[in-house]
Structures are given as C-alpha cells and as structure tokens.
Amino acid sequence: MKIFSGNANFLMAQEIAKHLEMTVSDAEVRKFSDGEIFVEIKENVRGTDAFIVQPTCTPVNDHLMELVIMADALRRASARRITAVLPYYGYARQDRKVAPRVPISAKVVAEMLMAVGVRRVLCMDLHAGQIQGFFNIPVDHLYAAPVLIKYIKENFENIIMVSPDAGGVERTRAFAKRLNCGLAIIDKRRDRPNQSEAMHVIGDVEDKIAIMLDDMVDTAGTLCNGAQTLLEHGAREVHACCTHPVLSGPAIERITGSGIKSLVVTNTIPLRDAARACEKIKVLSVSALLAEAIHRIHNEDSVSSLFV
C-alpha cells in the first residue's frame, strides 16, 4: 500500500499516513510556466494498492487535474489498484439539471476519474448522496458525524439541532436523534446563487443553544442569516457545524460580524489564512476516520461500520 497526495491538502495526507504508521510516497506535482500540470511518481508502484489523497477544493480545476493526471501516471506505472480519496468532492452541487441546457458536472467529474483508471472512490459527506450512483465503481461514503457529535456532546447542553434549509433536514434529524435533542428547520428562500434569505423558524428554539448543521459553508450567507433569525426567535446562543469549510468570498467577514458564537469545521479542506485567524472557527480532524477506512479497504475488510 502507498499513500500519495497532490497539492490540495498535503497536511491531511501526512496525518493519514501517520495514523497508518507510513509516510506519504514521493511524487512531484508542479506546474509549467504556462499553467500545465506535471506529475512524476518518484518510486516504484508496480503491483501496489495506491491511494491518492486529494480534495478538489479551491482552486478546484487545478486540484481536479492534479488528481486525474496523478491517477493516469499511477495506472501507466502498473499500480494494481488506484483509489481516489476525496475528502471534499468538488462540483458536487451540480448533481442534477435545475434549468434547461445546463450540465450535470458532478457526473462529468465521475466519468473523468473512471476514464483515467480510478477503481475505487473514498469520499466524505457528499452534498448529495445520489452522486455515488454516477460511478460504475465502488464508492465508500463516510460521514464526519462521529467526530462532530462527540464534540457537541462534550461542549454543549440544552441544545436544539437546526437545519438551515429543507434540504438538510434528514442530516440534521440524524444528529438530533443521536444527541437526544429537538429539531428545528429554517424556512429559506434563495433568489440568486450564493445569496439566501431566511424567513422563519419551524420549531421551538426559545432559550436553547441552537446548533446549525450543514455539509458545507461557502459564502456563509445561509448560516449568518439563519443565526440572526434564530436569535430573533429567542435562541440563547447560536453555533454552527459543517464538514467542508469552503469559506469563499465574503464568508469570513460575514461570520466575524454575525451572531454565530462558533463555527466547528473539519480538516477536509485546508483553511486559508483569514479563516485560520478567525477566533470563531474551530477545526476538528477526520484523518483518523479516513485512515481507518483506507486500512480496511487495503485489507479487504468491511467498511460498513464506519458509515454512521
């Protein structure tokens, strides 16, 4: 077994390798002066079980091409099996046609990965679970829930879990059930992409610590508007949890100036400097969970107990 990494989140790859008592294998991933990506595998991989740790986070296209080209390099070097470890799956929001003459880009990414020889995918908290069906190869879909739930149990009491929109109700209900607490939903109407307007709260948040849950935070408009709505409906405090801290555009400024007391995220995406400097943001590691999944996949053991 060998662990490889592109430039997207090398620190996570190192953490995963450390849990597996290994080191990240040697590969050169760089750009030519015109922006073309060049990959060279620096060690023998013939007959090996190769895992490429590469979340396709910003810059999404660069990191996606690094993953595709690295997979092709490993295939041509006779790796026995190539597994793409995608803690964050870019283009996941484009999982269906929402208007005429638009692409299903999540499917395009799946086709690209299969075309270059990826034979298994390990991912975490997909934006839409049906993306697994875009692949004709095995997909192991992990959840950050065990890590987030453990943190919530240890740090909060008298809580209510809040879904920031109707689409996240199932995810939030699962958290509420395991935390033995109530559930609330924010009715949100989106006028334009990356802009949202929270309308009202379904559920009783009066004098409770409200914890909003989402799979990703992009521009943070949904969370910040939701936090304001919850406070107006009598919530004592508002905190937020998410798996993927995309945090693009004005996200950090919005979070800093909002009523959110803390935002708990995982390390599927490395934080940019402004996010690391934000006192409200706390990062939890899911590297041990991914390492355990990689270990089981390599040993042909069951991974199902990790799908919690």
Neighbouring residues of 306: CB distance < 8 A, sequence distance ≥ 6: 140, 142, 289, 292, 293, 296
Task: List the catalytic residue out of 107, 188, 208, 282.
Answer: 188
Question: What is the distance between the alpha carbons of residues 93 and 90, in angstroms, rounded to a whole number?
Answer: 8
DSSP of 91-122: TTT--S-SSTT---HHHHHHHHHHHTT--EEE
Distances (CA, A) of 68 to 29, 74, 145, 165: 12, 10, 29, 34
Question: What is the distance between the alpha carbons of residues 112 and 222, in angstroms, rounded to a whole number?
Answer: 31
Which helix or strand (DSSP H or E) is residue 140 part of?
strand 139-142
Question: What is the distance between the alpha carbons of residues 148 and 308, in angstroms, rounded to a whole number?
Answer: 12
| 188 classed as catalytic | yes
Say if residue 59 is preceded by a cis peptide, omega within 30 of 0: yes
Instruction: With CA atoms as reference, report the closest residue to 216 among 110, 60, 84.
Output: 60
Instruction: With CA atoms as reference, report the closest residue to 83 among 305, 268, 286, 290.
Output: 290
Q: Identify the residue whose tokens are 């559930």.
A: 183
Say if residue 250 is preceded by a cis peptide, omega within 30 of 0: no
CB 174 within 8 A of CB 156: no
Q: Which positions are annotated as active-site residues?
A: 188
